[in-house]
């Protein structure tokens, strides 16, 4: 499955580690409002910086993802989850 992960901060790193080593998962986009967090995440897991996005809408437009995993603080979950569901993605939150 192709995943977009939104939020690559503290707990997001735990999920990134799991997705990164799963043989059936392809991480096609990382989304975070922090350029620093995006950059650190790409470097930690060997992803090209080009898969990092500041906006979920951009990541959705640029990829053919199957699922989204939401690792932002709780007050930001609703927008990302609703947007992903409306785009036909499965969601883990
Ligand atoms: N830290 C833990 O041990 C832990 C354990 C269980 C669950 N969680 C859950 O994980 C979620 C994230 O917590 P955390 O500890 O990783 O927080 P964090 O603040 O360390 O990281 C959150 C990340 O989300 C980014 N972010 C914030 N708003 C955003 C938005 N609107 N769009 C995109 N990115 C955004 C931040 O820049 C940051 O990189 C929360 O729902 C928390 O309850 C955390």
- Its domain, for residue 53, covers 2-67+74-92
Q: How remote is the CA of residue 81 from the centroid of ligand 1, in Å?
A: 14
Question: Three-state SS for 34?
Answer: coil
Q: What's the pLDDT band for 66 if we cut at 50, 70, 90?
A: very high
Q: How remote is the CA of residue 51 from the centroid of ligand 1, in Å?
A: 19
CA distance 10 to 39: 14
Q: Is 31 in the pocket of ligand 1 (CB under 6 A)?
A: yes
Specify the pLDDT at position 35: 97
CATH number of domain containing 13? 3.40.50.720
Specify the pLDDT at position 62: 98
pTM of the predicted model, to two decimals? Answer: 0.96
Structure tokens, 93: 């939150």
- The torsion angles phi and psi of 49, rounded to 5 degrees, stand at -60, -20
For 6-59, write each residue's pLDDT tens digit: 999 999 999 999 999 999 999 999 999 999 999 999 999 999 999 999 999 999
Count of domains forming the chain: 1
């Amino acid at each position: 499955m192709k995943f977009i992960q939104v939020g690559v901060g503290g707990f997001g790193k735990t999920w990134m580690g799991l997705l990164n080593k799963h043989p059936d998962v392809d991480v096609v986009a990382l989304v975070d409002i922090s350029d620093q967090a995006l950059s650190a995440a790409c470097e930690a897991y060997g992803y090209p910086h080009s898969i990092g996005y500041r906006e979920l809408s951009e990541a959705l437009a640029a990829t053919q993802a199957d699922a989204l995993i939401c690792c932002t603080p709780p007050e930001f979950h609703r927008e990302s989850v609703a947007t992903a569901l409306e785009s036909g993605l499965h969601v883990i939150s």
